Amino acid sequence: MGLFERFIKKSGDSREKTGSDRAFASEDTEKKDPMEELEIMKTRLVLSQIGPHFIYNVLNTIYYLCEKDTKLAQKAISDFSSYLRENMDFVKRMEPIPFSEEMDHVMKYLELEKLRYGDELQIEYDINITDFMVPALSVQAIVENAVRHGAGRLEDGGRIMISVYEGTDNYGIDIFDNGEGFDPDNIPDDGKSHTGIDNVRYLLMVMCGGTLTYIQDSNAGTHAIIRIPK
């Protein structure tokens, strides 16, 4: 049994009990070699991004589209299949990947969410550069938080903006949402799956010396800032 399968077997029940990936980020880290710890962190991100609620919502949307728009249903199935396959493939990638690949994965995720939210979820892109490397799934995890904890909770619809640019000493990735504000240091233990911000920070730091910081405002939403040094 491989590491991925062992981790799923070990953590399946405990994920439901704790309701927070944050707990995983601090357990027994000193007992594992760096490569094993890196693989476990990546596995945790994958598990958090293919949780039962997300799968149910996507399948329920596809079921509805099968009657209303068969071509769109076919595209949704194709996008969902690619999304799941890429999540699993990325676990094996122990080196940073091109940002262009990560951004393609982010767009697949957002297209699936758009099928669910429709015009209630507005997405804007300001991508000025893609020729640099990031840990696989790192940006996608932050965008997912922006939808789930921010824009996706607004009754009148929400907005996500992704801005990517080149600075003097680093590459910047900014993710904005206009939700109620998301505090990564105060994630509720509510029995639900929460993407591990600590896991993303760990991957950014270890794999490319990057950082993740948050600025949150209850009136203006949340601003996640990723910096990747050149």
Task: Indicate if the pLDDT at residue 137 is higher than 50.
Answer: yes
- Asked whether the beta carbons of 120 and 107 are under 8 A apart, the reply is no
- Asked whether the beta carbons of 107 and 96 are under 8 A apart, the reply is no
Residue 39, pLDDT score: 67
Task: Indicate if the pLDDT at residue 26 is higher than 50.
Answer: no
What is the DSSP annotation of 32-82?
A: S-HHHHHHHHHHHHHHHHT-HHHHHHHHHHHHHHHHH-HHHHHHHHHHHHH
How is the chain split into domains, by residue range? 3-229
Instruction: Give the C-alpha separation, 208 to 212, whole Å.
Output: 12
Residue 69, pLDDT score: 93
pLDDT band (50, 70, 90) for residue 46: low
Instruction: Give the C-alpha separation, 144 to 191, whole Å.
Output: 18
Residue 28, pLDDT score: 46
Task: Indicate if the pLDDT at residue 221 is higher than 80.
Answer: yes
Mean pLDDT over each residue of the chain, to the nearest integer: 79
pLDDT in tens, 165-175: 999 999 999 99
pLDDT band (50, 70, 90) for residue 126: very high
Instruction: Give the C-alpha separation, 182 to 146, whole Å.
Output: 8
Mean pLDDT over residues 166-185, rounded? 85
Mean pLDDT over residues 41-55, rounded? 67
Of 3, 98, 84, 97, which Cα lies nearest the Cα of 41?
A: 3
What is the reported pTM? Answer: 0.74
Task: Indicate if the pLDDT at residue 226 is higher than 50.
Answer: yes
| Sequence-distant (≥ 6) Cβ neighbours of residue 141 within 8 angstroms | 45, 48, 49, 195, 196, 199, 200
Instruction: Give the C-alpha separation, 69 to 79, whole Å.
Output: 15
- Identify the residue with better confidence: 227 or 84: 227
Statement: 3-229 belongs to CATH 3.40.630.30 = no
Q: For residue 215, what is the enclosing H or E element? A: strand 211-217
Instruction: Give the C-alpha separation, 25 to 21, whole Å.
Output: 7
Task: Indicate if the pLDDT at residue 16 is higher than 50.
Answer: no
Question: What are 147's two structure tokens?
Answer: 């939808």
SS3 189: coil
pLDDT in tens, 51-102: 677 888 899 999 999 999 999 999 999 999 999 888 888 777 788 999 999 9
Instruction: Give the C-alpha separation, 90 to 108, whole Å.
Output: 15
- Identify the residue with better confidence: 122 or 25: 122
- Asked whether the beta carbons of 164 and 127 are under 8 A apart, the reply is yes
Q: Identify the DSSP state of 27.
A: S
